[in-house]
Amino acid sequence: MNVLSRPLPAGVHTDYGATFPPKTLATFWALWAAFWLLMIGVSIEDQLRDPLTRWWEPVLSEGSSALVSTGWMWLAVRVRERYAPYLDKPLIWFASYLRWLPLVFITWITVVYSIRHGVYAAVGRIYEHPTWGFVVVYESFKLTIFTGLWLGILFGIDSYGQWQLQRHRLLQTQKALAQAQLAQLQGQLRPHFLFNALNTVSALMHTDVARADRLVATLGDLLRISLRSSENEMTPLAEELRTLELYAGIMHERFRDRVTLSWQTDQTLLDIPVPALLLQPLLENVFKHGVEPTVTRVRITISVRRESGSLEIVVSNSGSMLAPEHHDGMGFRNCRERLGIIYGDAASLRVCNEGDGVAARVSIPLTGIIQ
């Protein structure tokens, strides 16, 4: 077994294919080829100043060096997966490669000078060079500089690839966690509006069977939309408002002598995607805290408009003020968390007392959604 390709120690796992992607590898070899072409070109220009030098001699000199060096560099690239775990420890990473330098010196000098002597002998000439002692010292020094330079380039490329891989994994992990959290939040929302709707039907079925029957039909439509929303975290605004209308219709049947509903919608915004079931908890809070505790008539307004590059949805009611303990209820908290998961800091939910009532304002960025 090649000592350079021994298996990794137990417990060490890498995914190196993503660390050094094909495009980056092609760029590395293109840089390598350009370097050697430059070296050959400079050598030709320099040595041809001597009229006794033939054109193939500088080509042979640098070409043989390029051939053997490419072989070693190919091996270095091939075994880089073995040393990937040490990219965060540069000294260990470089030492792992540099320990092979004595073997590189011996094979490089032996093969390169054998090629040169062989070619010269084939054309009936003698390849002349300094003493072997000088050759060994000179070529070893040159190879040390050369190896350090290209290992530095390889280390930089691999480190960048490893950073990209770790960044990709982190983003995937964050996305998976966000999706799991979003699913949990959606699961918390559905029972709330379902139980409220069923309670409303239960309250009417013994006093007005026809109204209760209409509510059951409306509730069926509402549940169908709710189940569809479980397949996608986003839904068109038109669908979200339809869900809100169905829920409002159920609650209005229960409190129709005490509630007036008003809808103010910019029709050009109906195709904008919004988080599914985002608005229902806000309207639920209006009925729970603004309508149920009072016998006075309550005016509820749902408005949708464009505001400074954002989609602004306002659910407001008159006749009651928001108590401090309700500022951070489950409905508001879930809405804020879902907005944070999907939009980060670009979206917001603000709930405050306005005039003679309360307004919940949802702001969602339109940048990247519509022109």
CATH code (residue 340): 3.30.565.10
Domain closes at, from 172, 193, 216: 172
DSSP secondary structure letters along 90-102: HHHHHHHHHTTHH
Count of domains for the chain: 2
Whether residues 259 and 151 share a domain: the answer is no
pLDDT of residue 349: 93
pLDDT tier, 227 (very low <50, low <70, confident <90, very high otherwise): low
Region for residue 319 given its phi and psi (left: phi exceeds 0; alpha: psi -120 to 50; beta: otherwise): left
Whether residues 160 and 217 share a domain: the answer is no
Residue 74 lies in a domain: yes
All residues at 6 or more sequence positions from 282 whose CB lies less than 8 Å from its CB, including other chains = 315, 331, 332, 335, 360, 362
Q: Which of 66, 75, 77, 64 is nearest to 16 (CA)?
A: 77
Residue type, position 333, single letter: R
Whether residues 159 and 214 share a domain: the answer is no
Domain closes at, from 148, 172, 196: 172
Whether residues 101 and 18 share a domain: the answer is yes
CA distances from 223 to 62, 117, 243, 276 (A): 77, 87, 9, 13
Residue 187 lies in a domain: no
Whether residues 160 and 210 share a domain: the answer is no
8 A C-beta contact, residue 144 and residue 99: no
The Cα 201–Cα 218 span in angstroms is 10
pLDDT of residue 217: 84
8 A C-beta contact, residue 277 and residue 226: yes
Residue 193 lies in a domain: no
* Alpha-helical segments (H) within the chain: 16-19, 22-47, 56-78, 80-83, 90-98, 101-122, 132-204, 209-229, 237-254, 280-285, 330-343
The Cα 42–Cα 54 span in angstroms is 15
The Cα 154–Cα 80 span in angstroms is 9
Residue type, position 94, single letter: F
Instruction: Report the 10 Å Cβ neighbour count for 343.
Output: 14
Residue 180 lies in a domain: no
Whether residues 15 and 158 share a domain: the answer is yes
Of the ranges 125-134, 200-209, 251-260, the best mean pLDDT one: 125-134
Residue 190 lies in a domain: no
Whether residues 86 and 212 share a domain: the answer is no
Please determine, for residue 305, whether its predicted confidence score (pLDDT) is greater than 50. yes
Whether residues 220 and 289 share a domain: the answer is yes
Q: Tell me the pTM.
A: 0.50
Residue 189 lies in a domain: no
Encode pLDDT of 10-37 as tens digits: 333 344 444 455 667 788 888 899 999 9
Residue 177 lies in a domain: no
pLDDT of residue 302: 95
Whether residues 305 and 254 share a domain: the answer is yes
Please determine, for residue 241, whether its predicted confidence score (pLDDT) is greater than 80. yes
8 A C-beta contact, residue 258 and residue 291: yes
- What percent of the chain has a predicted confidence (pLDDT) above 90? 29
pLDDT tier, 266 (very low <50, low <70, confident <90, very high otherwise): very high
Whether residues 223 and 158 share a domain: the answer is no
pLDDT tier, 42 (very low <50, low <70, confident <90, very high otherwise): confident
140 by DSSP, 3-state: which?
A: helix
What is the Rg, in whole angstroms, of the alpha carbon atoms belonging to the chain?
Answer: 37
8 A C-beta contact, residue 322 and residue 162: no
pLDDT tier, 281 (very low <50, low <70, confident <90, very high otherwise): confident
Encode pLDDT of 161-178 as tens digits: 778 777 777 777 666 665
**Parent domain of 109:** 3-172
Whether residues 162 and 253 share a domain: the answer is no
Please determine, for residue 237, whether its predicted confidence score (pLDDT) is greater than 60. yes
All residues at 6 or more sequence positions from 260 whose CB lies less than 8 Å from its CB, including other chains = 297, 298, 299, 300
Please determine, for residue 213, whether its predicted confidence score (pLDDT) is greater than 50. yes
Q: Which residue has the higher pLDDT, 316 or 324?
A: 316
pLDDT of residue 164: 78
Q: Which of 15, 34, 36 is nearest to 26 (CA)?
A: 34
53 by DSSP, 3-state: which?
A: coil
Please determine, for residue 201, whether its predicted confidence score (pLDDT) is greater than 90. no
From first CA to last CA, the distance across the chain in angstroms is 61
Whether residues 157 and 247 share a domain: the answer is no
Please determine, for residue 100, whether its predicted confidence score (pLDDT) is greater than 70. yes
Residue 370 lies in a domain: no
